[in-house]
Each structure stands twice: as C-alpha cells, then as structure tokens.
Structure 1
Amino acid sequence: MSRISVRGFAVASATAVTAVGAVVGVASGNEGVSVDDTEATAADATAADATIADIPAGAQAQVQTASLTQQADEQSTQADAASLKSAQESARKAAAETAQNKKDAADEAKAKKDAKKREKAQVASRSATRDASDFVSKGSYSVAEVQGMARQMMASDQFQCFSNIVDHESTWNYKATNASSGAYGLVQALPGSKMASAGADWQTNPATQIKWGLNYMNDRYGSPCGAWSFWQANSWY
C-alpha cells in the first residue's frame, strides 16, 4: 500500500468515525459536542494516521535498499571468485602445456643428436679399410690373429668396445659354443647359422664372424660402442 492510499484510507476512516460519533452524540442528547470539535478530532486522527503510515513506508524502503545492496555485493563477490578460479585454471593449463612442449622439444633434439651420432659411428665403422674377404683363409687362428683382423675391419675408436663384448661372450674363441643355448662363435650368434648371411664359412672363419657381428651391432645399436653400453646395462646385447 502506497503512502497516498494509506493517507486516503486514514482520512476516510477518521471522517467516518467522527460522523458516527456526532450522530451518536446528538441521538444521546449530548449537545456538548460541536461541529468544530468534530472537525478537529477528524483532523487530528488524519494527521496521526498519516504519520504512522509514513514511518513503516520509509523503514521498509531502507530495508529493501540494504537487501538489494547486499545481494549485489554477494553476486559481485561470487563473480570475482569465479573469474579468479577460471584465470588460475587457465594459467595452470598454459604452464603445463608450455612445460610439455619444452620437454617434447628437448626429447626431439636429443633424438636427433643421438641419430647423428649413430650415423657418424656407422659411417666410420663401415669405412674400414678391409673386409672379411680380404683375409686368406687358414685352418686355425690365434687370438692375436683374430684380434688383428678385427682391428682392420672397424674404426679404431670402436675396436675396444667390440673387444669388450667379445671378451665377455667368447674370450676371442671363434669356435666357442654355448652348450645350453647353442650360441656360437666370437659374438655368440644365436643361432650360429645367422652368420651365414656374412659368409658360408661362418663356422671356421673368424673374419666372417667379425663381419656379421659388426653389422649386427651397427644395425641394432648404431655401433659397437652402442652395443657395449647396452651390454653393460643388461649383461647381454
């Protein structure tokens, strides 16, 4: 109810009450009640009712304003919190993506570097001055002779790695046979018949075995030193 409607109602009510009182007074023979008194009473009632009506309306407006302000503040706070959370999540995702990209780039760079290193080693190893066919076949070979063949068939910086593997696998015995697995020769090929790809005399010619072993190490590990690194970590290659 608005201020105007309340005040109108108060005026109407006071007027009605005053009119009834006047009639009752006349009917009762109360001639002491005058028209002026009646009008004054009505005016006082109207003023009082108007004042009473004004106070609640003002208080109500203040309460409503305060409530709206509080709601607006709460909504603003919630919006700020949501924005902060969204910004933090976006920053976290961006940081994670950046870190992953750096890791991928580093891994790719390392892989390229390793590939170039293996390629260089392969080229050096395969540029050996002598091949298995360059050696004259004999009925038997000493350890020194077999090692001499190996030195001439690979790059000098790869020989020691090759030698380390052969020392562990066969102690430079080109006829060494593993009784349990059947592995054979200097590099213990399994089965030994694999070495036939390097020459039909794989069972008796250490140069053929060296050629096969060198090709195997280059193809699988990049070089004899690559094979030796693997052997050290796993005790096989």
Structure 2
Amino acid sequence: MLEGNRVSRISVRGFAVASATAVTAVGSVVGVASGSVAQNNDAEAMAADATTLLADIPVGQQAQVQTVSLAQQADAQAIAADAGAKKEAEQAARKAAAETAIAKKAEAEKAEKEAKERAEQQAAASRNAVRDASSFAVQSSYTVAQVQAMARSMVPASQFQCFSNIVNHESTWNYRAVNPSSGAYGLVQALPGSKMSSAGADWQTNPATQIKWGLSYMDGRYGSPCGAWAFWQANHWY
C-alpha cells in the first residue's frame, strides 16, 4: 500500500536493486535452461529466486523486467546459433578439403598408371618390331635403302636415329666400307672387322650381320645407341 509518495514494500533504491537482480536472475535461468541436464536443479533454484524478486517489484515494472529477460534470451540464442553455424561451416570446409585432396591423389595415381601402361605398350611394340639378322634373305648385294630398311627393322625405334647418325658418320651406310689407315670395316667400322664374326660368319657381305654386331656393341659398351652417339659427339669416335 502506498503511503503518500513513498513505496511501502521497498524503497526506491531497493526497487532498483531488486529490478536489476531479477533481470539477471531471469536471464541466468534462461542460460541454465539451455545448458546441460545436470544443471536443472540450479535452474529451478534460480527460477524460484527470480519469482520472489519479481513479486517484490510493482506490477507495472514486472513487464519491463520480463521484456529485458526475453531480450537477453534472444541474444543468447543468437550467439549460440552463430557459434554452431561457424563450427558446422569449419567442419564442412575441412571435409571438402579432405575430399578434394583424396580426389587429386586418385587422379594423379591414375595418370601415373596410364602413363606407365603406355610406356610398356610402346616398349613391347618396339620389341616386337625388331627382327633378327637371320630373318633377312641373303643377297649378292644391297642398296643403301635396303640396308637402312634392315636397320629400321632390327634397331628399336627409340634408338634408330642415334644408330643412324653413327653409321652415317662412320661409313655413309656402305657395308663394304674400309678405313685405309686403320683397316676398320663395315657399316659401324669395327676394328678389326673380324670382331663381327661373333654375330655371323658372313660379316663381310651381310649388312644384317654387321647391324646385329654393331647394336650389340653399342648396347654393351654405352648402354644403347643413343649412349654411343652422345660419346661420339664428344669424342668423334666410339
């Protein structure tokens, strides 16, 4: 009951303190209520305190206190929603990055596997294309074009140009070429020429036998005709 201009139940100062306390208590109740189940007892106790405090506030002010409490609740929910959305976005970004990395790794492995398979197929095709010296019919003589055709059939495709460069410099594709100074003989200028007998007794007259021996020599000493050609370019002999 009012006595003049004075509040009978609480003083003006007490009213202000009670209002502030009630707002805090109600806001805390909202926070606890949105938390874990283990905090229910605290929520109930704080709710009881808030009810008591609201009872001490004039009816006209209680609506204001409740409005402030609802605003605090909305702010707390908005903050929680933002935090949750941020966490979900970070998790989604990490998942997408991991999936992208896995996909790129799979693509790289696939490309590497395909490249290896192509190389193996090319090597197999090259090996299949190589003919042995004995597969050519023996003739009394051979043109340069015929000798070069033999070489293309006997030397792996990836090594033919190197082999051809050496033969062109050594004998200009003349299988009967003789070096007047050293006595080196044939397409690859074997020294002495009789070395080529290891490839066939007809080494003097059969270019296929000479090609067979020359290829074996280059592979054995330099690893390949291209290895021999690299040495020849640096030293002008092999």
Q: 1:160 to 1:114 in 2, by over 3 A?
A: closer
- 1:167 CA drift (Å): 6.3
Q: Distance in 1 between matches of 2:92 and 2:59?
A: 50
Whole-Å separation in 1 of the counterparts to 2:97 and 2:107: 15
Give the aligned partner of residue 50 of structure 2.
Answer: 6
Matched, 1:207 2:204: yes
Partner Cα distance (1:129, 1:195) in 2: 22
Pairwise CA distance, 1:159 = 7.4
Query: For structure 2, which runs of at least 5 residues remain unmatched after alignment?
Result: 1-24, 26-45, 154-162
Q: CA separation in 1, counterparts of 2:66 and 2:164?
A: 109
Which position in structure 2 is the counterpart of 1:193?
192
1:74 Cα deviation after fit: 1.4
AA aligned opposite 1:175: V
- 1:219 match: 216
Q: CA deviation at 1:129?
A: 5.3
C-alpha distance in 2 between matches for 1:184 and 1:101: 47
CA contact (8 A) 2:185 2:192 kept: no
The code of the aligned residue for 2:134 comes to R
Q: Distance in 2 between matches of 1:212 and 1:89?
A: 56
Code of the aligned partner of 2:52: G
Q: In percent, how many aligned pairs have the same letter? A: 16
Alignment correspondent of 1:29 = none
Residue 64 of structure 1, CA deviation: 0.8
Q: Is the 8 A contact 1:165 1:187 kept in 2?
A: no
Partner Cα distance (1:109, 1:159) in 2: 22
Secondary structure of 1:189 counterpart:
coil
Among 140, 155, 158, the alignment partner of 2:150 is 158
Indicate whether 1:77 and 2:89 are aligned: yes
1:176 touches 1:185 (CA, 8 Å); kept in 2? yes
For 1:167 and 1:54, the matched residues in 2 are separated by 104
Q: Which has the larger Rg?
A: 1
**C-alpha RMSD of matched pairs (Å):** 4.6
Matching residue within 111, 119, 122 for 1:107: 119
SS of equivalent residue, structure 2 residue 204: helix
> Is the contact made by 1:10 and 1:50 (CA closer than 8 Å) also made in structure 2?
yes
Higher mean displacement: 109-118 or 205-214: 205-214
Give me the whole-angstrom Cα distance separating, in 2, the residues matched to 1:164 and 1:80. Answer: 61
Structure number with higher relative contact order (C-alpha < 8 Å, ≥ 6 residues apart): 1
Amino acid at match of 2:121: A
Aligned length: 169
Which whole-Å CA distance do the structure 2 matches of 1:174 and 1:211 have between them? 15
Does the Cα contact within 8 Å between 2:183 and 2:193 map onto a contact in 1? no
Q: Which residue of 2 aligns with 1:138?
A: none
What is the TM-score normalised by the length of structure 1? Answer: 0.51
CA deviation map 1:178-235 (0-9, x unaligned)? 6xxx682223536x13743517xx9xx971795762332453689xxx97xx97xx88
